[in-house]
Amino acid sequence: MTTGISTAHSVVEPTPASRWVAGILVAIYALITMIPLAWIILTSIKSPPDSISYPPKIVFEPTAEGYCNLFTTRSRQTPEYIAALPPPAGKCDRVARDNNMVVAGSSNYIPRFVNSLIIAFGSTILSVGFGVMAAYAFSRFKVPLKDDLLFFILSTRMMPPIAVAIPIYLMYRELGLSDTRVGMILLYTAVNISLAVWLLKGFIDEIPREYEEAAMVDGYTRLQAFCKVVLPQATTGIVATAIFCLIFAWNEYAFAVLLTSGDAQTAPPFIPIIIGEGGQDWPAVAAGTTLFLVPILVFTVLLRRHLLRGITFGAVRK
C-alpha cells in the first residue's frame, strides 16, 4: 500500500450533492420521529373530547384543561349544587365549573415531580462522585485483581432489575427504606455507578499522567493533584456521565413502581395512572408527560456536545 499523499482537495470530503441528499434524508427521519412527541404536546392543550375525537383532530381550540386536570382533582356535581357555590377562584376552577365539576383539591403531580428531581439529582451526584474516585483509582493505581473488579462492576449492569428487586424489596422492608427517597437514591446510585466508573475511566485514561506528576513535583499531594488537575481536565467526561446517569434515574420505572407508593413515588409510575372520570384523561396525561420531558430536553440541548463526545469516548474505551 502506498502512503498517503497530499491532494489538492481531499478525497474523503463528500460531494455537495451527496450532502444535500444526506441532509434531506436525515431531516425526513428526524421529522417523522418527532411526530409522536408533537402529538403529546398537542394533546396536552386539547380538551378531553377533542383528544379522543374520531378521526383525530389536528385543528382544534387550545385549552388549559389538560394542565388544570393534571394539577387538581375534581368531582362531578349537579348544576344546582354548582350554582349555589361562591364564584370560581381561579382559571382552573372556572374550567371545572364549565364541565359541571368542582375542584376537590390539588393532585399529587407536584409532589411526585419534586420526588423525581430529588431522587434523580441526588443519585446522579452520588454515582458520579463515587464513580470518578473509583475510576481515578483504577486508572492510576495498581489495584489487585483490577480487571476482575472492573468486569465485576460492569456485570452488575446485566442483572434484570426485577431479578434483584426481590431481595431489595425484602431488604428495604426490613430496614424501613421502602417508599423513602434515601432508599431510591441509594438504589439508583448502585445501578448507575457501574456505568459511571466505566465511562469515567475512559476519560481519565486519556488525561496524561505527566500533568499530575508535574503538579506533584511542584509540591501537590496526590489528592490535591486529583482535585486541581485531574478533575478540571475530566469535566467533559463528568458532564457526559452525569447526563447518562440523570437520564436513567429520571426515567426509571421498574424499581419505582415496586418500591415506592406515595411519599417517595417519582413521576414515571404516576403519570400513566392519571385518570379522568372514565379512562385515562389523555390531555392531563399528555400535560404531565410534556412537563416531565422539559428538564431532560433542556439538558439534552444545552449539553449536546458533551453528550456526543461522551458516548464517543465511552464507546472507544470499551
Q: What part of residues 287-316 is at the interface with another protein (CB under 8 A)?
A: 289, 292-293, 296-297, 299-301, 304, 307-308, 311-312, 315-316
CB-neighbour burial class of residue 137 (10 A; exposed 0-12, middle 13-18, buried 19+): middle
202 lies in the binding site for another protein (CB under 8 A):
no
178 lies in the binding site for another protein (CB under 8 A):
yes
182 lies in the binding site for another protein (CB under 8 A):
no
125 lies in the binding site for another protein (CB under 8 A):
no
Query: Is residue 137 within 8 Å of 143, Cβ to Cβ?
Result: yes
55 lies in the binding site for another protein (CB under 8 A):
yes
**CB of 104: closest distance to another protein in angstroms?**
5
Measured CA to CA, the distance from residue 299 to residue 245 in angstroms comes to: 12
236 lies in the binding site for another protein (CB under 8 A):
no
219 lies in the binding site for another protein (CB under 8 A):
no
Q: How is residue 10 written as a grid cell?
A: 481531499
CB-neighbour burial class of residue 118 (10 A; exposed 0-12, middle 13-18, buried 19+): middle
Q: Which of residues 64, 71, 77, 88 is near another protein by CB under 8 A?
A: 77
CA contacts within 13 A on the Cβ side of 275: 5
114 lies in the binding site for another protein (CB under 8 A):
no
**CB of 206: closest distance to another protein in angstroms?**
14
Q: How is residue 274 written as a grid cell?
A: 392519571
Measured CA to CA, the distance from residue 186 to residue 208 in angstroms comes to: 33
| Count of residues in contact with another protein, rule CB under 8 A | 136
Looking at 85-93, 203-211, 229-237, 285-293, which segment touches another protein (CB under 8 A)?
285-293
Measured CA to CA, the distance from residue 289 to residue 44 in angstroms comes to: 9
Residue whose CB is less far from another protein, 87 or 142? 142
Q: What part of residues 151-170 is at the interface with another protein (CB under 8 A)?
A: 152-153, 155-170
84 lies in the binding site for another protein (CB under 8 A):
no
Q: Which of residues 47, 250, 284, 306 is near another protein by CB under 8 A?
A: 250
* H or E segment and range at residue 223: helix 222-225
Residue whose CB is less far from another protein, 3 or 89? 3
Query: Is residue 239 within 8 Å of 303, Cβ to Cβ?
Result: yes
Q: Which of residues 92, 234, 286, 287 is near another protein by CB under 8 A?
A: 286
**CB of 80: closest distance to another protein in angstroms?**
11
Give residues with Cβ within 8 angstroms of 288, minimum separation 6: 70, 109, 267, 270, 271, 274
175 lies in the binding site for another protein (CB under 8 A):
no
Query: Is residue 237 within 8 Å of 313, Cβ to Cβ?
Result: yes
Measured CA to CA, the distance from residue 263 to residue 266 in angstroms comes to: 9
**CB of 223: closest distance to another protein in angstroms?**
5
Measured CA to CA, the distance from residue 49 to residue 151 in angstroms comes to: 54
Residue whose CB is less far from another protein, 91 or 318? 318
20 lies in the binding site for another protein (CB under 8 A):
yes
Measured CA to CA, the distance from residue 276 to residue 273 in angstroms comes to: 10
273 DSSP 8-state letter: G
**CB of 235: closest distance to another protein in angstroms?**
19
Q: Which of residues 190, 205, 206, 236 is near another protein by CB under 8 A?
A: 190
